[in-house]
A and B are shown apart, each in its own frame.
Chain A
Amino acid sequence: MNAVVLDHITKTYDAGKVLAVDDVSLQVAAGELFGLIGPDGAGKTSIFRILTTLLLPDKGHAAVNGLDCVKDYKAIRRSVGYMPGRFSLYQDLTVAENLHFFATLFGTTIEANYSLIKDIYEQIKPFSGRRAGKLSGGMKQKLALCCALVHKPEVLFLDEPTTGVDAVSRKEFWEMLKTLKQQGITIVVSTPYMDEAVLCERIALIQDGRIMSVDTPAKVVAAFPVKLYAVKAADIYRLLTSLRGDNSISSCYAFGEYVHVTFRDEAAHDLQAWQQTLAAQGHEQVEVKIISPSIEDSFIRLMQEKQNAQP
Chain B
Amino acid sequence: MNDKVIICEELTKRFGDFIAVNHISFDVRKGEIFGFLGANGAGKTTAMRILCGLSFPTSGKATVAGFDVYKQQESIKKNIGYMSQKFSLYENLTVVENIEFFGGVYGLSSAEIRRRSDRLVNKLGLTQEARKLVRSLPLGWKQKLAFSVAIFHDPQIVFLDEPTGGVDPITRRQFWDMIYEAAATGITVFVTTHYMDEAEYCNRITVMVDGKVEALDTPGNLKARYQAASMDEVFYQLARGAKRSAD
Please judge, given known A-B contacts A39-B139, A136-B247, A168-B240, whether A257 and B168 are in contact too, CB under 8 Å: no
Q: Which of the residues B38, B180, B245 comes within 8 Å of A138, measured between beta carbons?
A: B245
B231 within 8 A of A: yes
Other A-B contacts than A39-B171, A300-B169, 13 sampled, CB-CB below 8 A, are A38-B168, A39-B167, A40-B167, A42-B168, A136-B245, A138-B41, A164-B162, A166-B38, A168-B39, A193-B194, A237-B184, A296-B169, A299-B169
| Beta-carbon contact of A136 and B41 below 8 Å | yes
Chain A residues with CB under 8 Å of B165's CB are 163-164, 192
**Which of A163, A168, A192, A194 counts the most B-chain CB atoms under 10 A from its CB?**
A168
CB 8 Å contact bits of B174-200 with A (1 = contact, 0 = none): 001100100010000000001111001
Q: What CA separation (Å) do A300 and B174 show in the bound complex? A: 12
Across the two chains, which residue of chain B brings its CB closest to A18?
A: B136
Interface residues of A in 1-59 (CB under 8 A from B): 38-42
With A and B bound together, what is the CA distance between A137 and B173 in angstroms?
A: 27
- Tell me the complex Cα distance, A237–B184, Å: 9
Query: In the bound complex, do residue A137 and residue B247 qualify as a contact, i.e. CB atoms below 8 Å apart?
Result: yes
Residues 205-237 of chain B, each 1 if its beta carbon lies under 8 Å from chain A, else 0? 000000000000001100000000011100110
Is B166 touching A39 in the complex (CB atoms < 8 A)?
A: yes
Known: A39-B139, A256-B230. A166 touches B239 (CB 8 A): yes
B196 & A167 in contact (Cβ 8 Å cutoff): yes
Q: Which residues of A contact B162 (CB under 8 A)?
A: 164
Q: A167-B235, A254-B176 are in contact. Are A40 and B194 (CB under 8 A)?
A: no
Report how far A30 CA is from B200 CA in the complex, Å: 39
Closest to A251 in B: B170
8 Å CB interface, A232-291 against B: 236-237, 240, 253-257
Q: What distance in Å separates the Cβ of B115 from its nearest Cβ neighbour in chain A?
A: 27
Contacts of B40 in A (CB 8 A): 136-138, 164-166, 169
With a cutoff of 8 Å between Cβ atoms, the chain B residues found around residue A195 in the complex are 196, 232
Interface flag for B201 (CB, 8 Å): yes
Binding site for B on A (CB under 8 A): 38-42, 136-139, 163-169, 171, 192-195, 207, 236-237, 240, 253-257, 296, 299-300, 303-304
Task: Please indicate the chain B residues that have their CB under 8 angstroms from the CB of A41 in the complex.
Answer: 138-139
**Of B38, B167, B231, B247, most A-chain CB atoms within 10 Å:** B247
Contacting pair A300 B245 (CB below 8 A): no
In the complex, what residue of chain A is closest to B233 when comparing beta carbons?
Answer: A167
B246 interfacial by beta-carbon distance below 8 Å = yes
Neighbouring A residues of B196 by C-beta, 8 Å: 167, 195, 256
Interface size class of B (residues with CB under 8 A): 35 or more
Total A-B Cβ pairs within 8 A: 95
- Find the residue from B38, B180, B194, B236 having the highest chain A CB count within 10 A: B194
| 27 A-B interface contacts by CB (under 8 A) | A39-B167, A39-B168, A41-B138, A136-B40, A136-B245, A136-B247, A137-B41, A138-B41, A165-B40, A165-B194, A166-B38, A167-B232, A167-B236, A169-B39, A193-B195, A194-B169, A195-B196, A207-B168, A236-B201, A237-B180, A253-B173, A256-B196, A256-B197, A256-B200, A303-B168, A303-B169, A303-B170
Query: With a CB–CB cut-off of 8 A, which chain B residues contact A255?
Result: 197
Q: A143 vs B68: C-alpha distance in the bound complex, in angstroms?
A: 42
Nearest Cβ on chain B to A197's Cβ, whole angstroms: 12
B54 interface residue (CB < 8 Å to A): no
Report chain B residues within 8 Å CB of A136.
Answer: 40-41, 245-247
A residues near B133, Cβ cutoff 8 Å: none
Closest beta carbon of chain A to B149's beta carbon, Å:
20
Q: Contact at A192–B246, with CB atoms within 8 Å?
A: no
Report A-chain residues with C-beta under 8 Å of the C-beta of B236: 167-168, 171
Q: Does B130 sit within 8 A of A, measured CB to CB?
A: no
B168/A137 in contact, CB under 8 A: no
Within 8 A of A (CB), among B32-49: 38-41
Which residue from A167, A192, A303 sits with its C-beta under 8 Å from B239? A167
B242 interface residue per 8 A CB criterion: yes
Closest B residue to A166 by CB, please name it. B39
> Per-position contact with A for B89-122: 1 when CB-CB < 8 Å, else 0?
0000000000000000000000000000000000
Q: Give A167 to B139 CA distance when docked, in angstroms.
A: 24
Taking CB atoms, residues of chain A closer than 8 Å to B247 are 136-137
In the A-B complex, the 10 residue pairs with the closest CB atoms = A39-B168, A40-B166, A136-B246, A256-B200, A166-B39, A256-B197, A237-B180, A257-B200, A137-B247, A138-B245
A contact residues around B200 at 8 Å (CB): 256-257
Given contacts A136-B246, A236-B201, contact A167 B169 (CB under 8 A): no
Name B219's contact: one of A168, A169, A253, A257 (CB within 8 Å): A257
* Smallest CB separation, A124 vs chain B (Å): 11
Cβ contacts under 8 Å, A194 to chain B: 169
Min CB distance A242 to B, Å, is 13
A202 smallest CB distance to B (angstroms): 20
Contacts of A168 in B (CB 8 A): 39, 235-236, 239-240, 242
Question: Given A138-B245, A168-B39, A168-B242, A257–B220 Cβ distance below 8 Å?
Answer: yes
